[in-house]
Structure 1
Amino acid sequence: MKKVTIIFLIMFALIFSACDSETVQKEDGSITNDEKSETITYESENGPVEVPANPQRIVVLNSFMSGGVMALDGNIVGIDEWSKGNPRYEKYIKDAVEVSDESLEKIIELEPDLIIVPSASKNIDKLKKIAPTVNYTYGELGYLEKFLEIGKLLNKEKEAQEWIDDFKKRAKKAGEEIKSKIGADATVSVIESFEKQLYVFGDNWGRATEIIYQEMDLKMPEKVKEMALEDGYYAMSPEVLPEYAGDYIIFSKNPDANHSFQETDTYKNIPAVKNNRVFEANSKEFYFNDPITLDYQLDFIKKSFLGE
Structure 2
Amino acid sequence: MKKLLLSILLLLLITVSACSNNDNEKESNSTDKADETITYESEDGPVEVPANPQRIVVLSTYAGDVLKLGGNIVGADSWSIENPNFSEGLADAEEVSDESLEKIIELDPDLIIGLSTIKNVDKLKEIAPTVTFTYGKVDYLNQHIEIGKLLNKEKEATEWVNDFEQRAEKLGEEIKAKIGEDATVSVIEDYDKQLYVFGNNWGRGTEILYQAMELKMPEKVKEMALKDGYYALSLEVLPEYAGDYMILSRNNGSDPSYLESDTYKNIPAVQNGHVFEVEQRSFYFNDATTLEFQLDFFEEKFLQD
TM-score by length of 2: 0.92
Q: Displacement, 1:259?
A: 1.8
What is the aligned partner in structure 2 of residue 305 from structure 1? 302
Distance in 2 between the 1:222 and 1:118 partners? 31
Where does residue 220 of structure 2 map in the other structure?
A: 223
Deviation at 1:22, TM superposition (A): 6.5
Instruction: Tell me what 1:136 maps to.
Output: 133
Query: Given residue 108 of structure 2, which amino acid in structure 1 is its aligned partner?
Result: E
Answer yes or no: is the 8 Å Cα contact 1:250–1:281 preserved in 2.
yes
Superposed, 1:136-285 pairs within 5 Å as 136-285=133-282
Determine if the alignment matches structure 1 residue 87 to structure 2 residue 91.
no
Aligned partner of 2:59 in structure 1 is: 61
Alpha-carbon contact 1:38-1:54 (below 8 Å) kept: yes
RMSD across aligned positions (CA):
1.9
- 2-side partners of 1:111 and 1:14: how far apart? 36
Amino acid at match of 1:176: E
1:14, CA displacement in angstroms?
9.9
Which residue does 2:119 correspond to in 1? 122
Counterpart of 1:9? none
2:256 is the counterpart of 1:288: no
- State the Cα distance separating 1:21 from its structure 2 match: 3.7
Paired amino acid for 2:190? S
What is the CA distance between 1:248 and its match in structure 2?
0.5
Per the normalisation by structure 1, the TM-score is: 0.91
Residue number in structure 1 paired with 2:47: 49
Deviation at 1:16, TM superposition (A): 7.3
Partner of 1:37: 35
Letter in structure 2 aligned against 1:226: E
Quote how far apart the aligned CAs of 1:117 are: 1.9
Q: Show CA shifts across 1:127-156 (max 9, x none).
A: 101111101111112111111010000000
Structure 1 residues 264 and 169: alpha-carbon distance in aligned structure 2, compared to 1, 3 A threshold: same
- Gap regions ≥5 residues in structure 2: 1-14
Q: Following the alignment from structure 1 to structure 2, what is the Cα–Cα distance between the partners of residues 209 and 181?
A: 19
Secondary structure at the counterpart of residue 41 of structure 2 = strand
How many angstroms apart in 2 are the aligned matches of 1:16 and 1:133?
Answer: 42
Q: Which residue of 2 aligns with 1:5?
A: none
Residues 171 and 216, structure 1, Cα contact 8 Å, conserved in 2: yes
Cα distance in 1 for partners of 2:211, 2:249 equals 18
Q: How far did residue 287 of structure 1 move?
A: 0.4
3-state SS, counterpart of residue 207 of structure 2: helix
Cα deviation for residue 101 of structure 1 reads 1.0
Give the corresponding residue for 1:7.
none
> Which residue number in structure 1 is paired with residue 6 of structure 2?
none
For residues 182 and 301 of structure 2, what CA distance do their matches in structure 1 show? Answer: 18
Shift of 1:301: 0.4
Matches of 2:203 and 2:24, distance apart in 1: 44
Distance 2:76 2:16 in 1: 43
Question: 4+ residue stretches of structure 1 with deviation over 2 A?
Answer: 13-26
SS of 2:196's partner is strand
Are residues 239 and 127 of structure 1, via their aligned partners in 2, closer, same or farther at CA, if it must alter by over 3 Å? same
1:19–1:249 CA distance, 2 compared to 1 (3 A) = farther
Give, in angstroms, the shift of residue 121 of structure 1.
Answer: 1.5
Corresponding residue number in structure 2 for 1:6: none
C-alpha distance in 2 between matches for 1:302 and 1:226: 28
Q: Distance in 1 between matches of 2:39 and 2:257?
A: 53
The offset of 1:19, in angstroms, is 6.4
